[in-house]
Structures are given as C-alpha cells and as structure tokens.
Structure 1
Amino acid sequence: MATNPPKNNARKGVVRQRSQTYNPKTNRFVKRNSETGRFMDVKQNGSKFKGVRTEK
C-alpha cells in the first residue's frame, strides 16, 4: 500500500534578511529589514517573532 509523505509547509530555519530588536519604550519587539534598515512590523503581545534573529 502506497503512502504519501506528510505535507508540512512549515519554514525550515531562520528568515533571511530580517532581524528584530527590543524597543524598551514600548516593551515590544520590532522586526526590521536588514537590507534597507526600515522597520516592518511590531509584535503586539510583547513576545519575540518566530524564526527571526535578534540584534544585539
């Protein structure tokens, strides 16, 4: 009996050309584009973005 492989569309590894940093004024993480340096998104619940590297 033939079986199909599991279909998992999950991302493997980190998101390239993205980084996140912590904003102490708002107590939230901000995602930013590494190429242009522009801020892209703010995490609303205060936790980190999944799979995006953290700047130091």
Structure 2
Amino acid sequence: MAINKPLGDDARKGAVQKCSQLQTKIEGEDTWMKRSSETGQFLDQKKSPAKTPYKGVRKER
C-alpha cells in the first residue's frame, strides 16, 4: 500500500501496489478501471468520459 506520512500534508509517498488499472470502452466512451492484483476483480471505475488515469496506480499492458 502507499504510505501517507507525515499526517496532514495530503501527499502520497510511493505507488499503490495491490491494484492495477486499464483503459476500457463502455458505451463508446473511454474510461479507466481499477483491478485487484490478488483476486482479479474490478474495484472501481472512473466516470465516463475519463481522460486521465488514476494517480499512483500502475497500468496494465
């Protein structure tokens, strides 16, 4: 997991390691989805159209 210390500075230190992201098309619109590395299930999806990926999450090829 990413570390969020010191408290109160609202900055992430490092990458989120337990999930990855991929870009998909839903109803003709591009969107980004997060997937769990442990189970392979989809965790979250950005609202369509999502031009920018999640911050700090690695991308699948």
TM range (shorter): 0.7 to 0.9
User: Given the alignment of the two structures, is residue 37 of structure 1 paired with residue 11 of structure 2, yes or no?
Assistant: no
2:57 equivalent in structure 1: 52
Q: Report the TM-score when normalising by structure 1.
A: 0.76
Q: Tell me, what secondary structure is at the counterpart of 1:8?
A: coil
State the alpha-carbon separation in 2 of the partners of residues 15 and 8 from structure 1: 18
Give the C-alpha shift of residue 24 in structure 1: 2.5
Give the C-alpha shift of residue 38 in structure 1: 0.4
1:23 equivalent in structure 2: 24
State the alpha-carbon separation in 2 of the partners of residues 9 and 20 from structure 1: 22
Unaligned runs of 5+ in 2: 1-7
Task: Work out the percentage of aligned pairs sharing the same amino acid.
Answer: 42
Moved over 2 A (4+): none
Q: Report the TM-score when normalising by structure 2.
A: 0.71
More strand by share: 2
Amino acid at match of 1:19: S
User: Given the alignment of the two structures, is residue 14 of structure 1 paired with residue 15 of structure 2, yes or no?
Assistant: yes
